[in-house]
């Protein structure tokens, strides 16, 4: 083939593929109409033993077949996938439609005698028609697509890609890859031994036990994980193995997009640390989720924060009657309200969204909001949580954390709130910083008020770090890696618990549904993670290497900068021992001492006086009285 001919053919093919999808569907239907005519000639010739002399019989057979084919093929999804991406599923739909086609043809030609059209043609013609259409689709797929790849790929080196997972997601990805000239699919890897050495649309599947050999023999540049149902621990093992061999790893989009089939190669994303460190989801208990939310007035303080905003998203899905968003940041309040309105519209939720721009440390504002909207369930997530900042600003930290909780709790009692859930922290356990100590005071306030009355059910939910929150090290490490390093850690032995924000929020809501008054619920955070391991994992996920004494040529250095004021080497979730189990496998109930309200209220009055005077020393002295286990030192 001459260079001019090749160029003209390539131009024609590219013009066809750039046409709107609806136009291409009708082009394929038109080609199928021609194939139906050809199939009529061949079927009659085979049946009669000679080429048909009557054009009338051919046209009658073709017209009748196309009439029924139009009715059958479109609903059956024959033209849902264009021929260049047709695979086993598309071929199955094609066969199914042709099988259905035999039924009306058998009725027509079996009971209505048409001159020159034998009755057996009702079976023979759909078979030939199916074979011709299948041949056309396979030709377009394996010849035209390959030609386009070769013609375009001569100007650039193609990356050799391996798909890990031969399920539905992997096969959808393989179909999409056929239009990517810069990528060459070398095969599948799968953990299922039954698929070993099988062929999926002409692509080989190998078992994961020979992964190392395949990576070397096939010169793989990149692996895409197409295993959305795999456990996180298994994904972590695979990614670790591939990183050690310096293979770039990416993942398919979310499982919802895979189910809908709405993804393209450009949607493939890099592996995130949340994909590896977060735990596998446990289906939420819908009874607990809805007990305090369904058709109720719900109020969330700190609604624009990391936890507060995710609580709002989860609450919307449980269809409350009204959701009051309380937030002191104008931008965060605007952002979460806009997002929730779009979310409610998309999911068909009729919920009244009320934005309240308010500082919940201000007593009068809190009581005004509670009296106006009469909430039935309150989630108190508003707090200053950044340890070093609160250490530097103790007055603001204690005022915001302690007295916002006190005001909200008393306002909740005043208007008859049924459930009040405090979002607490593991730093409240034997605290070494003001933030943790102030949150422990918040817990004591709710425990004391729970003993004083039974109209409002006060409860607390205590957990550790969440991945991706504003105070998490994950965003900081990402910025440092993007800037070329170094990545700074406080100490190589620091460990932290990690949980994804959606899981933490769901568990908070479910714990609130279990409340009977005064409980401290503790979330099962899984296993603690060394922060240095986290940093190394994030560097490698970015396609870079760690620079240390063993690998001085590495890309990113990890540097220890020392523990910050008030920071622990490790975090705890329990003050006492032997937590009690609950009906939820990931929620425990702590057994802890309670301060009587009569004593606590006097201390809080004194604390408020010293805070209003800006007397830091006396305020901290009172804090140590309320929380005697608070030690302002570094362990």
> What residues are annotated to the active site?
427
User: Distances from the Cα of 244 to the Cαs of 237, 249, 551, in angstroms?
Assistant: 11, 11, 13
**Residue 565 burial (C-beta neighbours within 10 Å; 0-12, 13-18, 19+):** middle
- CA 511, CA 463: separation in Å to the nearest integer? 12
Angle at 527 between CA 521 and CA 530, to 5 degrees: 125
Helix (H) or strand (E) holding 45: helix 21-48
What are the phi and psi torsion angles at 298 (to 5°)?
A: -120, 135
Q: How many CB atoms lie within 10 A of CB 286?
A: 12
What are the phi and psi torsion angles at 204 (to 5°)?
A: -80, 145
- CA 631, CA 635: separation in Å to the nearest integer? 10
Among 291, 335, 344, CA closest to 316: 344
| Three-state helix/strand/coil letters over 104-166 | HHHHHHHHCCECCECCCHHHHHHHHHHHHHHHHHHHHHHHHHHHHHHHHHCCCCCEEEEEECC
- CA 370, CA 100: separation in Å to the nearest integer? 64
Sign of the alpha-carbon torsion through 73, 78, 83, 88: negative
Tokens linked to 124: 């023979």
């Amino acid at each position: 083939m001459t260079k001019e001919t090749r160029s003209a053919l390539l131009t024609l093919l590219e013009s066809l593929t750039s046409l709107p999808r609806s136009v291409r569907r009708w082009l394929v239907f038109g080609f199928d109409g021609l194939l139906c005519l050809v199939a009529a000639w061949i079927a009659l010739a085979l049946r009669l033993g000679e080429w048909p002399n009557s054009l009338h019989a051919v046209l009658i057979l073709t017209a009748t077949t196309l009439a029924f084919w139009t009715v059958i093929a479109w609903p059956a999804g024959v033209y849902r996938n264009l021929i260049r991406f047709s695979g086993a599923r598309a071929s199955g739909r094609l066969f199914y439609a042709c099988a259905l086609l035999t039924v009306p043809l058998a009725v027509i030609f079996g009971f209505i005698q048409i001159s020159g059209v034998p009755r057996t043609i009702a079976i023979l013609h759909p078979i030939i028609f199916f074979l011709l259409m299948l041949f056309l689709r396979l030709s377009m797929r394996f010849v035209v697509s390959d030609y386009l790849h070769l013609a375009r790929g001569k100007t650039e080196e193609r990356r050799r890609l391996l798909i890990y997972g031969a399920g539905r997601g992997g096969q959808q990805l393989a179909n999409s890859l056929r239009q990517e000239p810069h990528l060459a699919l070398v095969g599948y890897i799968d953990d299922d031994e039954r698929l070993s050495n099988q062929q999926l649309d002409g692509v080989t599947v190998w078992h994961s036990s020979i992964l190392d050999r395949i990576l070397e023999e096939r010169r793989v540049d990149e692996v895409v994980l197409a295993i959305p149902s795999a456990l996180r621990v298994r994904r972590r093992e695979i990614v670790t193995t591939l990183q050690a061999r310096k293979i770039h790893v990416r993942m398919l989009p979310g499982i919802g997009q895979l189910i809908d089939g709405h993804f393209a190669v450009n949607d493939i994303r890099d592996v995130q640390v949340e994909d590896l460190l977060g735990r596998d989801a446990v289906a939420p208990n819908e009874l607990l989720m809805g007990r305090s939310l369904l058709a109720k007035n719900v109020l969330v303080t700190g609604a624009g924060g990391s936890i507060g905003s995710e609580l709002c998203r989860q609450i919307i899905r449980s269809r409350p009657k009204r959701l009051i968003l309380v937030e002191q940041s104008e931008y965060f309040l605007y952002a979460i309200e806009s997002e929730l309105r779009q979310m409610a519209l998309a999911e068909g939720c009729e919920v009244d969204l009320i934005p309240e721009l308010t500082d919940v440390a201000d007593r009068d504002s809190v009581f005004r909001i509670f009296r106006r909207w009469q909430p039935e369930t309150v989630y108190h997530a508003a707090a200053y949580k950044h340890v070093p900042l609160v250490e530097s600003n103790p007055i603001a930290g204690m005022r915001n954390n302690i007295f916002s909780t006190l005001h909200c709790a008393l306002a909740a009692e005043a208007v008859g709130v049924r459930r009040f859930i405090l979002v607490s922290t593991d730093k409240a356990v034997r605290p070494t910083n003001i933030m943790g100590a102030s949150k422990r005071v918040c817990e004591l306030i709710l425990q004391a008020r729970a003993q004083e009355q039974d109209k409002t059910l006060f409860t607390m939910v205590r957990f550790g770090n969440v991945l991706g929150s504003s105070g998490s090290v994950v965003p900081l490490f990402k910025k440092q890696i993007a800037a070329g390093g170094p990545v700074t850690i406080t100490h190589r032995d620091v460990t932290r618990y990690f949980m994804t924000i959606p899981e933490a929020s769901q568990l908070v809501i479910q714990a609130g549904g279990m409340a009977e008054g005064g409980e401290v619920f503790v979330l099962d955070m899984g296993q603690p993670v060394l922060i240095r391991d986290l940093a190394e994992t994030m560097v490698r996920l970015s396609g870079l290497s760690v620079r240390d004494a063993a690998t001085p040529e590495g890309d990113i250095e990890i540097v220890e900068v020392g523990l910050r004021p008030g920071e622990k080497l490790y975090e705890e979730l329990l003050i006492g021992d032997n937590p009690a189990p609950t009906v939820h496998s990931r929620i425990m109930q702590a057994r802890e001492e309670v301060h009587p309200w009569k004593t606590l209220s006097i201390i809080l009055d004194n604390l408020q006086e010293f805070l209003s005077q800006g007397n830091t020393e006396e305020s901290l002295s009172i804090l140590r009285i309320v929380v005697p286990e608070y030690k302002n030192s570094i362990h």
